[in-house]
Each structure stands twice: as structure tokens, then as C-alpha cells.
Structure 1
Amino acid sequence: MKRYQLPIILFVMLFSASCKQKAPVKPEGTAPQFNNGLTVQEKAGGVMTPEIMWKFGRLGSFALSPDGSTVLYTVTDIDLQSEARQTNIFKLATTGGDPVRLTSDGGSSPQWFNKGKSIAYINKGNLCTMNSDGSERKIVTGISDFEIFSISPEGNKIYFTKRVKLDQTANEKHNLPKAKVRIINDLMYRHWNYWSDFSYSHIFVASFNGNTVSDEKDIMQGQRFESPTAPNFDEGEIAWSPDGTFIAYTSKRMNGMADARSTNTDIFLYE
């Protein structure tokens, strides 16, 4: 048995070295490359691969202009080396033609307002606006830490959601920030892949003039319920009425065991 030990050791060392040499090494600090073009090898191969499919880009949210002539949509590109993602906004005439790219530094959740002359969207956590041709981009003030937004049909109001903390965790209650402890005496202390931190997704309504959000109001103040509901927090669960006087939203008004055992939600109206 001993006579085989040296060849085996040499083989393992050579195999390990060859594996290390083949592994691609990306220099630290290299910016992600969002390149959807096919390489010469990919074209010559003539085979659909997962890497080629990722280069198609992933379609996301869309919005039809008030006159029905143009649609906004988002495309998310992925750099497979760094696994970084970037979403940008495009527009396309509903009669056809070539798409027009409106953002290059990121943009998501586009919405028309100002009778189709302006576009609101999210960029790096900020609410931003731009003209319908992509010019005059600016950040809207008076709003932060939000997740979903929608501008009213008249364009003078906005609703948005953000997390509202209503109770303390065990660490906060006893001033033990480094302690790994949870005090659990009821459901739901965990939903899918996250622990409850006693914060809830609430809907806020506010005034909007195209530049600033003001006079925000939590329409679910004090409620230990959420809208949109977990786990997807889908923006389709909230909507303006056509005249902008009502907000319809879904919520599951249950706590504890009842919350854990039911998936039923109800629709509520806020005037």
C-alpha cells in the first residue's frame, strides 16, 4: 500500500494546482460589466446556455401613458462574475419601433404623471422625476425610507409604504444590543425567511407637487397589521380610485395564532 502513496499525493497536488489556475480571478474593485452582447464563442457554439439566457435581460414593471401611445418598462441586467444587478427604464411606442433607453445609472417602478409629460421612478432608494424624454432628472424631497409609491390620477397626492416600528425587540427592551436572544410568547414570530422585528408595512398618504412630498399621514397608525401583506408585499394590493378620492388596499387584520393559521385578507377603503 505504501508504494502507491507517493503517486497519489503527486496527483492530488497537480490536480489542485490545475484547478486553481483555471479559476477566474476578478481584480478587486472592478466595476460590474453589464454587457448583453454575445461572444464569438457563444455565436459559434450555436447552443442556448444559461449564461446566454441571462444576457436577454429580465423584464420588470411597466406603465402605459395616459394617452395610450407609449409604454414604460424596466429591464434588469446581470453581471455573472460579480452577481451584480442593475435595472433601467426604457420606453416604447405602442405602435412599434425601437425602444428608447431613459436611464443608464439605474431606475425602477416608473410611473407617469403631469398628464404624461413627466415620469416618477425610484433610483438608489430615492424618489426621482424626469421629463418623458429622460431629461431634467431630479430627486424629490420630503420622502425617505419608503418601499412602494403611487401618484394619484390628478397628480397632486401620493401614497407610499414604509416600515413602522410599534414594539421593541428583546435587545432594545433590555439594552443588550449584542445579545443573541428572542423572547417568544406568541405567533407570528417568524414568517418564511425573516424574523419579526415588530415593524409593519404601513401606507402613508401625502401632498405632492412634482418636487416635494409634504404633510404625510399614516392611514394605518397604531395598527399591528400590514399592507401590502407578507411575504411578497405586492404593490398590486394597493390602488387609487379613478378620481383619486379613495385608496383601496388589502390587509390581514389578525394577530397571534389567528394570523398564523389564516391566509385570508380583506379589502379596505380610505377616503
Structure 2
Amino acid sequence: MNRTATVDDLLAIASPEQPALSPDGTRVVYALRTTDRDADRDRRSLWQVSTTGGEPERLTRGDADSTPVWSPDGSALAFLRAEDGPAQLWVLPASGGEARALTALPLGAGSPQWSPDGARIAFAAPVDSAALPGEGAETILTRRSAPTVADRLGYKIDGAGRLGTLVQQLHVVDVATGAVAVLTRGHAHASDPFWSPDGSLLAYSSAPDDDADLTLRIQVFVTSSTDANSAPVRVSAAAVQASAVGWSADGRHVLAAGRTDTEVGNAGLLLFPLA
């Protein structure tokens, strides 16, 4: 019979999010969001279901698992898990078994991007530019709670809060060893990493201009995926607003979404040659 919806009905809703199709097209992994009324928080775990239907299968038992991404050969899943701190990168065998943590970064990891050979994962994550060598996570997190002195317009970001001395940089982690390399440096945030087809380069977006806070300029760069000392190369024009979205199949062009000017308006698909 018909009745008025209640708060309990809303709290009972389980919402599938972030679907990821397996490379062979037979399975979909997704994050299932539920609400814990007593704890007053959302909970997320990973589930999978056949693309032909059937009963979903729960894959993880974490409370904050999200952002599943299949390895190129479909043998593993990378995902983010937040346990008593910022989200870290984890890997789960697709055939079953226990997930293992790949990162333990003081400020957490970002959305994973598998290399074409499945041996490495790239992601963007915050780094404290004021941290000294060997400085522990507790010191870094304490500095995060200190009063902020802002000398730039972009001193905070929705969802991240006050930035302070934080700068988002590109990282690459070796899946076998867990060794993490930071590939970018400087005051400008780096985001949207995408692997070249041969895995030798990463394309990404950044706004390195000194007055970037006052303009809409966001440029596209490429950098080595193995040499942290190599200098990034800008492949876009300077006066653009663009976010990298992929590569051409031959690896000679970077695809981006954006505009070839700094006006406000609709984005288009842009193609930038490497040389």
C-alpha cells in the first residue's frame, strides 16, 4: 500500500557508485554506499556483478573503499581505502583473497591510473612543500591545523579545505614493491595523470604561472614516468584551459578537454602534438 516516505526509508537506500567494467567486459565492480545511522556517516565497500545479471558479490569489508580501477589484464583491482586517516592506495586480486596496502603517505593518495603493463600505478596526491627530510606524519598533520597565512587567492579548495603549504604532485608506485616516486615539483598543482601507450610518459594538467590564481589558464604537460629529475615539457599553448584525458593510439598526441582561450564557456576536445 502507499505510504509517506520516512527518514528511515532514506537511510535504508544503498547506492551503487563508480562502476568499473572489467577489461573482458564480463564484470562490473562498483562502490556501494550505505548509511550508518548510529555513526552518522556513510560507509562504502566494493562489490561486483556479472554484466549478464545475477547476484552481486561483496569484495571488500572496509568502511571507506572507493574508486575501483581494473588492471589492464583484469587480474587485480586498485582502489582507495580510508582507515583512521587519509585514503591510501590498495590492490585486491580479482580472483579473490586479501587486499594489500600499496601506500602509507602522510596526506593520502589519489585516484589510481594503471600503467599499460600493469606494473605501476600513477596518481596525484598532496605533498607538504614545507616538510623537511625525514619529517613524520604527525608533524605534517599538526602543521595542517596551524593558522593559515594566505598570500595567494587560491588558498583553499572545496572538499580539501585550507591548502596551507600543500601542493598536489604526481606520484608513481611500483605494484610489486610499493616503492613510491614523486615525479613533479614546485608550487603548481599537478593533476589528471594519463599514461602514454608505451608507459614511458605521463600527461597531466597544471597551472604553473605566477598569476594562475587570477586567470583560467591550465596547461597540459608531459613528463617521464621513470626519471623524477627530468624536466616536464608543455605540449599545449600557454593561454589555454585544458585537462588531459588521454593519448592517441600511436602516442604522438595528447588528448585534452577544454578551450583554446581563457574565456568562460563550453569545453571541447583538444589534440596536442608532442612535437
Task: Tell me which interval the TM-score lies in, with the shorter structure as reference length.
Answer: 0.5 to 0.7
**Structure-2 change in CA distance of 1:140 and 1:167 (3 Å):** closer
Counterpart pick for 2:206 among 245, 251, 257: 251
Which residue in the other structure is 2:255 paired with? none
Give the letter for the 1:113 counterpart.
Answer: S
Counterpart pick for 1:120 among 46, 68, 78: 78
* Equivalent residues of 1:75, 1:89 under 8 A apart: yes
Which residue in the other structure is 1:207 paired with? 174
2 CA distance for matches of 1:198 and 1:252?
Answer: 16
The answer as to 2:108 corresponding to 1:151 is no
Which residue in the other structure is 2:184 paired with? 220
Task: Write the deviation string for residues 112-150 of structure 1: whole angstroms up to 9, x where unpaired.
Answer: 2272122222332443333224x3214235653432122
* Equivalent residues of 1:126, 1:139 under 8 A apart: no
Counterpart pick for 1:188 among 140, 154, 162: 154
Give the structure with the larger strand fraction: 2
Q: Note the aligned Cα RMSD (angstroms).
A: 2.9
Task: Write the deviation string for residues 24-62 of structure 1: whole angstroms up to 9, x where unpaired.
Answer: xxxxxxxxxxxxxxxxxxxx6633345423422233222
Which residue in the other structure is 1:95 paired with? 52
Which residue in the other structure is 2:128 paired with? 165
- Find the residue that maps to 2:190 and give its secondary structure: coil
The answer as to 2:222 corresponding to 1:269 is yes
2 CA distance for matches of 1:45 and 1:201?
Answer: 51
* Equivalent residues of 1:121, 1:129 under 8 A apart: yes
Identity of aligned residues (%): 21
1 CA distance for matches of 2:146 and 2:98?
Answer: 44
Structure 1 residue 75: deviation in Å? 1.0
- Find the residue that maps to 2:212 and give its secondary structure: helix
Normalised TM-score (structure 1): 0.64
- For residues 5-84 of structure 1, what are the structure 2 equivalents within 5 Å? 46-84=3-41
Which residue in the other structure is 1:129 paired with? 91
**Structure-2 change in CA distance of 1:93 and 1:190 (3 Å):** closer
Structure 1 residue 251: deviation in Å? 1.6
2 CA distance for matches of 1:70 and 1:192?
Answer: 34
The answer as to 2:66 corresponding to 1:108 is yes
* Equivalent residues of 2:120, 2:173 under 8 A apart: yes
Task: Write the deviation string for residues 168-213 of structure 1: whole angstroms up to 9, x where unpaired.
Answer: 8xxxxxxxx8x9755444433344573331110111123322xx22
- Find the residue that maps to 2:45 and give its secondary structure: strand
1 CA distance for matches of 2:103 and 2:36?
Answer: 34
2 CA distance for matches of 1:206 and 1:105?
Answer: 22
* Equivalent residues of 2:149, 2:164 under 8 A apart: no
Query: What 5-or-longer segments of structure 2 have no aligned partner?
Result: 132-142, 225-275
- Find the residue that maps to 1:213 and give its secondary structure: coil
**Structure-2 change in CA distance of 1:68 and 1:76 (3 Å):** same
Give the letter for the 1:248 counterpart.
Answer: A
1 CA distance for matches of 2:198 and 2:88?
Answer: 27
2 CA distance for matches of 1:219 and 1:84?
Answer: 35
2 CA distance for matches of 1:87 and 1:219?
Answer: 31
Which residue in the other structure is 2:261 paired with? none
**Residues matched between the structures, number:** 204
* Equivalent residues of 2:202, 2:223 under 8 A apart: yes
Larger-gyration structure (1/2): 1
1 CA distance for matches of 2:43 and 2:207?
Answer: 33
Structure 1 residue 74: deviation in Å? 0.5
* Equivalent residues of 1:143, 1:213 under 8 A apart: no
Query: What 5-or-longer segments of structure 1 have no aligned partner?
Result: 1-43, 169-176, 229-236
Structure 1 residue 155: deviation in Å? 0.8
2 CA distance for matches of 1:180 and 1:95?
Answer: 52
